[in-house]
Structure 1
Amino acid sequence: MPVMYYKTPVGIAMIAEDDGFISRVHILDEEREATEPSSPLLQEIAKQFDEYFAGTRRDFDLPIKQSGSDFQQQVWQELLKIEYGKTISYNEQSLRMNSPLAIRAIAAANGRNNLWVVVPCHRVIGSNGSLTGYAGGLWRKKWLLEHEAKVAGIGQTRLEF
């Protein structure tokens, strides 16, 4: 399984490829040296991340696959439908999935997303507008949302955690 460490504005991301799919993208808290991509797919995700962080890419076009239950797969597919620069609440996500009583299960599935930024769980916030539940750290969630709002021309966002 080829692995690459990619330097982002908010830390080093560990990116793994498995059988022709991007299978893991995790932001690390510890410092690590960036590495060169060792496959065409890792070169492509590095290019797309460069574009995303430069503000010229809003959606990723990559073959992705992560392990999870059918329910988790449905939750992650719903995350892919959230527009760049926009946010929804966990409640809204549950309504979109026709599962209004499954808010906690949906939030838990969001937390198990292994494709940081590519599957944009950072776009889901609390019903009161607060930043909640982000494995990469709430400061990174805030940074990503502010970056997307600025690029999308939405203007200043007032995000609190």
Structure 2
Amino acid sequence: MSAASVLTGASVVTTGLMAGLFFGWAVSVIPGTKQVDDHTYVETMQSINRAIINPGFVVPFVATPLVLGAAAFAQARVGNIRAAWWLGSATVLYTVGLIGVTGVGNIPLNDALDRFSLDATDRAALAERRRTYESPWNRWHALRTAAAVAALGCASIAALVESD
């Protein structure tokens, strides 16, 4: 098995892990949080946003576009231009759609939510904090989920056309 094949396989796995995380969140956590009161929602999201900053998430989140790019380069070097093109497309989708969207959309909302004190607030402030966070955050999340799934599709196609 060639290095290009190994890198292509690794790119499918790492992209799949991230697409699965974002898709799973969209179809399980978001519907669940819509059913809780404002205090529980804000408290839960603050806790999750703090807990997700760990090596199990950060390393594959940041490493995936590097693996995708390396696989694209390796495929181009062995002359498999179609696979390289699909992997390059996956790299762009992932970099812009996951890392870019997360940095521009989700992280600023998470940071603002983190600064919100649950101790010194009333019901109206909680409802307003949730309103200004939840819908925008979910829209950004839907965008990055779509990008993750599209990137996974591109990486998967690259693996299928690799031997052509």
- Shorter chain as normaliser: what TM range? under 0.3
Structure showing greater relative contact order (alpha-carbon pairs closer than 8 Å, 6 or more residues apart): 2
Larger radius of gyration: 2
- Report which of the two has the higher share of helix: 2
If the length of structure 2 is used for normalisation, what is the TM-score? 0.27
